[in-house]
Structure 1
């Protein structure tokens, strides 16, 4: 029997809602498999492989696989056409700089002289090293030669930047004297301090403070990673217990760091970005480096980052989804779990995630299901992403927007029925 026309088959599954060229891909796959009737299934599979919304019920606030910090922004697709003054100076009518908008707000928030935005924190560190220490030494504690996500390691990042790694101290104990000795015997351009945002070393340990390093001479660069802007947490009213010990960018600069680097999509709660704050002369050197052209962010990132920074300046935590979710009392989450009317209400523990605050648990609540229902929940539209612990499926409401509770309940009922 002759197979149907690919184009006719694609037209027959138009109700899937994909553009015609993608329906053709699905139709071709079905015909190639010898099963034209599977064209609709192929199209649905293709649609679900595209970037789209998902409900995070894992209890991990900054889930890297789910985009880390959620943004409370509308995409604007189909709305009115809007340009922006990305690189246009409204006062003079001449070309402006994309580094001036969000950078001013970030400098204000951290108490820095200046700030610069790039596309992620690894790029921020690479740019700083390339601009300020190429062909020169950078002293780093052996206990801070970390590996970040995707297998990238500090020594490798440093090598690509052109800087020379100068290891000091030991894995568990590094003193200011170790950095001082390195600065005296080597051509050291920077003292780099890497915050252990995704691991902890406990026991017989010692580390040098930023204030101690600032007294040695070379500029101190502190890679904070997680990106808590201010330890006082003015936007919340008070500092949560689960943030105990997490350094803030403002306090690190006040202690003597010349520069701090951190991620925009972790504890800051913004889009993926790398942020450099600190001395104006060092920021200017970074901005003028050729790598800045490769690392610069686009208008969507800068616009989102500006919106988040303005919310901080207004002390409006509710406008930042990460903080809105993080500050909900566990009792309120328990009430929502009861109201779902499905599953077994339970107390759970949430995590910051994305390599932030390792070992710090946040009291939470949700519902549990006996058995592994993760795949069935993912198959719902929109998919609900839960976690499974010892054959118990946990749906943690800490990371679920209240507006999605009815969707989560429907997904659970569907999973249980199947």
Structure 2
């Protein structure tokens, strides 16, 4: 059988909404695979697969607030196509700095002298080490030589920065005297001490660690990689104060107040903003980081900085409800139970169930937040993902769990429609 025309086949797929070059690819792939009789059906399937692979909104019903696979913190930001004063000083008319906007607000939030922004948390650590410790030693507790998701390992990042790792203490116990001994040893040429937050695991039992206030007595600057991005342990943006599940989480403001020379953290975790890395602390050290050649390679663009600025302003207004992560995290179980009951009653599918949400994103291991949602017998995750938008659920114990803490109230009707389709 003579294969169909690629162009004719591609034009028959115009209703998919994909641009013509991609439709040509879908048609060619169908023909090349030997699908002559059912070429249109196969080409349409190829086009559908292409469309599903594009970035698109999804409904997060997993209960994981900072789901790495789903982009971590959800951020609402929209702007018309326009120029901005990204590197223009409007007062003088001269060239300015991209660190004069969001970074200045971040410094204010953290109680820091200055701050800069790079493209992610790992970049923040890399830049600090490269700018302040290339060719010299950096003292780190063996219990804090962590690996986080994506293969980010502290020793490997340190090697790439040009700094030299000086391990102190043991896996489970490190004392201030261990750090002091490493710093005093002239063979180490120690430039910094690095305190790394064990954000995605816990060591329990016979343990000992050195508090930041004690580390500040060392004769070298101490850098605190707090990772998760809690700005202030007092949570002034929450009228009722910090929730119980935040207990023990290190915060930028308190780390600096306790004597850290610099703090580094991610923008898309507990901070609730876009992917970014923040370096905040002493002005002279921040300046050294900003002047390092890597700073240009790691800098974010105006879209990220603008989004960070909006989140930072919400914090300064003490408006936690304007930050989507905190809005979701602080929802009452009563409200969630009411929504779940309405969904089950309307869809006549599933049952209301108590659940436990988690912060996610490599933060607060073991922490749980009481929640409610809809539970379905069996695994319906694949069917839920086929919707528009896809609904991402959690499956365990042979059941499908849709946790409403991470579902925006405006998406309840979408969930209801998907549940009815399952019935």
| Separation in 1, partners of 2:343, 2:183 | 61
Q: Which residue of 1 aligns with 2:183?
A: 183
The 10-residue stretch of structure 1 (302-311 or 32-41) with the greater mean CA deviation from structure 2: 32-41
Would the aligned equivalents of 1:144 and 1:196 in 2 still touch at CA under 8 Å? yes
1:10-47, Cα deviation, whole Å (9 max, x unpaired): 11110111111111111111222233122222111110
Structure 1 residue 71 corresponds to structure 2 residue 83: no
Q: Which residue of 1 aligns with 2:366?
A: 359
Shift in Å, 1:269: 0.3
Q: Which residue of 2 aligns with 1:60?
A: 64
Scaled by the length of structure 1, the TM-score of the pair is: 0.97
Task: Write out aligned runs for 1:290-329 (5 A).
Answer: 290-329=293-332
Q: Which residue of 2 aligns with 1:284?
A: 287
| Separation in 1, partners of 2:403, 2:27 | 39
Shift in Å, 1:152: 2.2
After the TM superposition, which segments of 4 or more aligned residues of structure 1 sit over 3 Å from their partners? none
Q: Which residue of 2 aligns with 1:345?
A: 352
| Separation in 2, partners of 1:218, 1:281 | 14
User: Any unmatched runs of 5+ in structure 2?
Assistant: none
Q: Tell me, what secondary structure is at the counterpart of 1:167?
A: strand
Shift in Å, 1:177: 0.6
| Separation in 2, partners of 1:107, 1:322 | 21
Aligned with residue 214 of structure 2, among 204, 212, 215: 212
Q: Which residue of 2 aligns with 1:232?
A: 234
Q: Tell me, what secondary structure is at the counterpart of 1:217?
A: coil
1:373-400, Cα deviation, whole Å (9 max, x unpaired): 0100001111000010011000000100
Q: Which residue of 1 aligns with 2:133?
A: 133
Q: Tell me, what secondary structure is at the counterpart of 1:150?
A: helix
Q: Which residue of 1 aligns with 2:397?
A: 390
After superposition, the CA RMSD in angstroms is 0.9
Q: Tell me, what secondary structure is at the counterpart of 1:276?
A: strand
Shift in Å, 1:81: 2.9
Q: Which residue of 2 aligns with 1:254?
A: 257
Aligned with residue 405 of structure 1, among 402, 412, 415: 412
Shift in Å, 1:181: 0.4
Scaled by the length of structure 2, the TM-score of the pair is: 0.96
Q: Which residue of 2 aligns with 1:50?
A: 54
Q: Which residue of 2 aligns with 1:193?
A: 195
1:295-343, Cα deviation, whole Å (9 max, x unpaired): 1011111011001000100111111110110000111101000000231
How many residues were matched structurally? Answer: 412
Q: Which residue of 1 aligns with 2:120?
A: 120
